[in-house]
Chain A
């Protein structure tokens, strides 16, 4: 791969099985063997997707619901295996696909930061040193020893976001999670993300917030029913997307 790229996605396709009758037990599977009728349909979610994200670039992905954005991010993060094609990443990658994956509501905020940090690839020692900074960034000093089940959803999201940005990855993958917290925290999150970019890190960014896409992204890809509809200049691609979303074309 050329050294200027952080991520290269080559000819990635992905099918999902759409079950008519889901066989979720051994019993049903054995019975089903005698029933030759096909019990699922293949749904092609991604069709031959190729693109690359340059180092230090903020790359936006837009598209309607169900167009394959999240699936694509999951493949980039290594969570799903593509059926064909491959993804090459250059540098450490932190996916930020949902808020507080792996948070345990029965444990305190501090314990959860450690847990989440380890999940994202920290060693225990390093994350334990940074716990206080993270709590401070999240503005949750008062609640450091509170169990997570007593947190509001905004506090929860702030804690998750603050931990994730501490990882300081080379590539950050974000899926529609920045619209959390109050206005002040949203501004802070955006600033943090932009500071990543300034330091030469790459960001892949999925959102429905078109104005922020046009404002912040260097390049944008419009994903339409699993294919790349257009890619390039944010203003132009967002226009394409808006046009295709009109009820009568």
Chain B
């Protein structure tokens, strides 16, 4: 509990890490924050062309389905990638000033959250372009996104310290993400997969989160109580385990820099 209090007292610092990361990323480029949205749009274009002309998809509102999945998946990729470098990239800083070691990871997660907010502006534009009127259940989307950010923060914590000790952590993590992209229903629907694989994938929090987001945003369907419970439990357990790993790994981490 005392750590929560300390983090609350340092909220200025958390916020300033998060925003300065953003500024440095985009202030120096002509297109500014449009770079944030360019990347998912490019991916959208490629996947859209492939799955409308090459392998026609039967998914309703496929464009929006795809974009939503890409935005949510990108949040994870980017959040954890910023998280991986959040301590290593501040080596001179953490050597000279004390602050709780949780802060870089939390800031990384917030940075990626801010980028998601920009991307949802694009999502809204696309809804208008496709003349899509969202169902009422879209009000639950922020909750789904919040859940994802608890997960991203959890993952960032151990990644930020493990990447100091094991410099190949970033490559291993990139592999995990690459596999994860294909095992998450971003450009297909989960029910197209064989049932035994579906059973396993139900335990991937990202599968659940993306699925729930699709349901509430596009199809006006409330997720089942069971799947909400499973997801919340999964996210909390993963975050807790991640935090424990973080606590063990953070001990000598500053000296290893």
A residues adjacent to B (C-beta < 8 A): 16-17, 24-27, 29, 74, 77-81, 95, 97-98, 101-102, 104, 106-107, 111, 114-115, 118-120, 122-124
With a cutoff of 8 Å between Cβ atoms, the chain B residues found around residue A115 in the complex are 16, 20
A-B contacts, 16 listed (Cβ < 8 Å): A24-B166, A24-B168, A25-B167, A77-B97, A79-B94, A79-B98, A80-B254, A80-B255, A101-B92, A104-B24, A115-B16, A115-B20, A118-B12, A119-B16, A119-B99, A124-B15
Instruction: Tell whether, in the assembled complex, residue A102 and residue B97 are in contact, meaning their CB atoms are under 8 Å apart.
Output: yes
Pick the residue among A17, A26, A97 that contacts B166 (CB under 8 A): A26
Given A24-B165, A102-B97, A118:B28 Cβ within 8 A: no
Given A24-B168, A102-B92, 19 more pairs with CB closer than 8 A: A17-B252, A24-B165, A24-B166, A27-B168, A29-B166, A79-B96, A79-B97, A79-B254, A80-B254, A95-B97, A95-B98, A97-B97, A101-B95, A102-B96, A102-B97, A106-B28, A115-B16, A118-B12, A120-B97
Size of interface on B: residues with Cβ below 8 Å to A: 28
Instruction: Tell whether, in the assembled complex, residue A98 and residue B166 are in contact, meaning their CB atoms are under 8 Å apart.
Output: no
Q: What is the CA–CA distance of A16 and B252 in the complex, to the nearest angstrom?
A: 9
Instruction: Tell whether, in the assembled complex, residue A79 and residue B95 are in contact, meaning their CB atoms are under 8 Å apart.
Output: yes
With a cutoff of 8 Å between Cβ atoms, the chain B residues found around residue A114 in the complex are 16
Instruction: Tell whether, in the assembled complex, residue B96 and residue A104 are in contact, meaning their CB atoms are under 8 Å apart.
Output: no
B residues adjacent to A (C-beta < 8 A): 12-13, 15-16, 20, 23-24, 27-28, 90, 92-99, 165-169, 172, 251-252, 254-255
With a cutoff of 8 Å between Cβ atoms, the chain B residues found around residue A98 in the complex are 92, 95-96
Pick the residue among B93, B95, B166, B169 that contacts A119 (CB under 8 A): B93
With a cutoff of 8 Å between Cβ atoms, the chain A residues found around residue B167 in the complex are 24-25
With a cutoff of 8 Å between Cβ atoms, the chain A residues found around residue B165 in the complex are 24
Q: What is the CA–CA distance of A77 and B252 in the complex, to the nearest angstrom?
A: 15
Q: What is the CA–CA distance of A102 and B107 in the complex, to the nearest angstrom?
A: 15
With a cutoff of 8 Å between Cβ atoms, the chain B residues found around residue A78 in the complex are 98
Main secondary structure of the interface of B (DSSP, over half): helix
Pick the residue among A25, A80, A102, A123 that contacts B12 (CB under 8 A): A123
Q: What is the CA–CA distance of A111 and B94 in the complex, to the nearest angstrom?
A: 20
Chain A minimum-CB-distance residue to B172: A26
Instruction: Tell whether, in the assembled complex, residue B23 and residue A107 are in contact, meaning their CB atoms are under 8 Å apart.
Output: yes
Q: What is the CA–CA distance of A125 and B90 in the complex, to the nearest angstrom?
A: 24
Q: How far is the CB of A202 from chain B (nearest CB, A)?
A: 17
Given A24-B166, A80-B255, A102:B172 Cβ within 8 A: no
Q: What is the CA–CA distance of A17 and B254 in the complex, to the nearest angstrom?
A: 12
With a cutoff of 8 Å between Cβ atoms, the chain A residues found around residue B24 in the complex are 104, 106-107
Instruction: Tell whether, in the assembled complex, residue A25 and residue B93 are in contact, meaning their CB atoms are under 8 Å apart.
Output: no
Pick the residue among B20, B28, B98 that contacts A77 (CB under 8 A): B98
Q: How far is the CB of B219 from chain A (nearest CB, A)?
A: 41
Given A25-B167, A107-B24, A114-B16, A102:B90 Cβ within 8 A: yes
With a cutoff of 8 Å between Cβ atoms, the chain B residues found around residue A77 in the complex are 97-98
Pick the residue among A16, A119, A124 that contacts B97 (CB under 8 A): A119
Most buried by B among A25, A81, A115, A118: A118
Chain B minimum-CB-distance residue to A119: B97
Given A114-B16, A118-B13, A123-B12, A101:B96 Cβ within 8 A: yes
Q: What is the CA–CA distance of A101 and B217 in the complex, to the nearest angstrom?
A: 44
With a cutoff of 8 Å between Cβ atoms, the chain B residues found around residue A80 in the complex are 254-255
Chain A minimum-CB-distance residue to B98: A78
With a cutoff of 8 Å between Cβ atoms, the chain B residues found around residue A107 in the complex are 20, 23-24
Given A24-B167, A79-B94, A106:B27 Cβ within 8 A: yes
With a cutoff of 8 Å between Cβ atoms, the chain A residues found around residue B166 in the complex are 24-26, 29
